[in-house]
Chain A
Amino acid sequence: MAARIALLKYLRVEARPAQLRNPRLIGGSFSQLFRRQFSDEVRGSFLDKDEVRDRVINVVKNFQKVDPSKVVPNAHFQNDLGLDSLDTVEIVMALEEEFVFEIPDNEADKIHSINLAVDFIASHPQAK
Chain B
Amino acid sequence: MQRGFYRMRLNCCTDIKFFSSSTPLAPIPLPSPKETHLWYVIPNEVKGESLLNKYMEILPPCEKEHVSSMRGDELRKSALLARTLVRTTIARYQINSSIQPRSLKFRKSIHGKPEVDWQHCDHCEPPPLHFNISHTSSLIACGVTINSPIGIDVEAKQRPVKHNVLTLARRYFTEHELHVLTAIKDPHLQHQEFIKLWTLKEAYVKALGGGFSGAPFKTFTVRFGSAIGESPHLSRNSNTEASEISVDMFDDPSDLTSNWQFMLLELAGSHYAAICTEKDVTSEGNKNGPMKLTVWKTIPFVEDKCVSGTEAVRVLCGFR
| A residues with CB within 8 A of B | 63-65, 67, 70, 79-80, 82, 84-86, 89-90, 93-94, 105-110
- Write out, one digit per residue, whether chain B residues 60-97 have a CB within 8 A of any chain A CB (1) or not (0): 00000010011110110011000000000000000000
- The answer to whether A82 and B216 touch across the interface, beta carbons within 8 angstroms, is no
CB of B216 within 8 A of CB of A106, answer yes
- Are A109 and B162 in contact, with the CB atoms below 8 A? no
Question: Could you list 9 further interchain pairs (A-B, Cβ under 8 angstroms) beyond the known A82-B74, A82-B78, A109-B212?
Answer: A79-B79, A80-B75, A84-B135, A89-B172, A93-B163, A93-B167, A93-B171, A105-B172, A105-B212
B107 to chain A, nearest CB (A): 19
Q: State how many angstroms separate the Cβ of B110 from the closest Cβ of chain A.
A: 16
Q: How many residues on chain B are close to A (CB under 8 Å)?
A: 31
B163 near A70 (CB under 8 angstroms)?
A: no
Question: Chain A interface: which of B1-9, B14-22, B153-161, B222-230?
Answer: B153-161
The docked-state distance in angstroms from the alpha carbon of A107 to that of B71 is: 26
Main secondary structure of the interface of B (DSSP, over half): helix
- Chain B residues near A80: list those with CB within 8 A: 70-71, 75
Indicate if the CB atoms of A63 and B212 lie closer than 8 Å: no
Given the complex, which residues of B lie within 8 Å of A67, measured CB to CB?
A: 72
- Please give, as numbers and ranges, the residues of chain B lying within 8 Å of A64 by CB-CB distance: 160, 162
| Closest residue of B by beta carbon distance from A67 | B72
Would A85 and B168 be within 8 Å (CB), given that A67-B72, A80-B70, A90-B161 are in contact? no
* A60 CB to nearest B CB, Å: 12
Please report the C-alpha to C-alpha distance between residue A124 and residue B295 in the assembled complex, in whole angstroms: 47
A105 in complex: contacting residue of B70, B163, B198, B218, CB < 8 Å: B218
Instruction: Assess whether B212 is in contact with A79, with CB atoms less than 8 Å apart.
Output: no
- 8 A-B pairs within 8 Å (CB atoms) are namely A79-B66, A79-B70, A79-B79, A82-B72, A86-B202, A90-B162, A94-B162, A110-B213
B contact residues around A82 at 8 Å (CB): 72, 74-75, 78, 137
Contact with A along B189-216 (1 / 0, CB 8 A): 0000000001000100000000111001
From residue 286 to 318 of chain B, which have CB atoms closer than 8 A to chain A? none
Query: How many whole Å from B196's CB to the nearest CB in chain A?
Result: 12
Q: Say yes or no: is B319 at the interface (Cβ < 8 Å to chain A).
A: no
Whether the Cβ atoms of B160 and A86 lie closer than 8 Å is no
Smallest CB-CB separation from B218: which chain A residue?
A105
B75: contacting residue among A79, A85, A93, CB under 8 A: A79
> Do the beta carbons of B155 and A105 come within 8 Å of each other?
no
B40 interface hit (Cβ, 8 Å): no
Nearest-CB distance from A35 to chain B (Å)?
Answer: 35
Could you say which residues of chain B place their CB within 8 Å of the CB of A70? 71-72
Q: How far is the CB of A88 from chain B (nearest CB, A)?
A: 9
> Are B212 and A86 closer than 8 Å at their CB atoms?
no
Give min CB distance, B79 to chain A, whole Å: 8
A110 to B214, CA, bound (A): 12
Closest to B198 in A: A86
- Interface status of B136 (Cβ within 8 A of chain A): yes
Interface residues of B in 32-72 (CB under 8 A from A): 66, 69-72
Q: Which 4 A-B residue pairs are closest in the complex by CB-CB distance?
A: A109-B213, A105-B216, A106-B213, A109-B212
User: In the complex, what residues of A have CB within 8 A of residue B159's CB?
Assistant: 86
Contact with A along B134-177 (1 / 0, CB 8 A): 01110000000000000001010001111100011001100000
Residues of chain A within 8 A of B66, CB atoms compared: 79
Known: A82-B72, A82-B74. A89 touches B218 (CB 8 A): no
Interface status of B262 (Cβ within 8 A of chain A): no
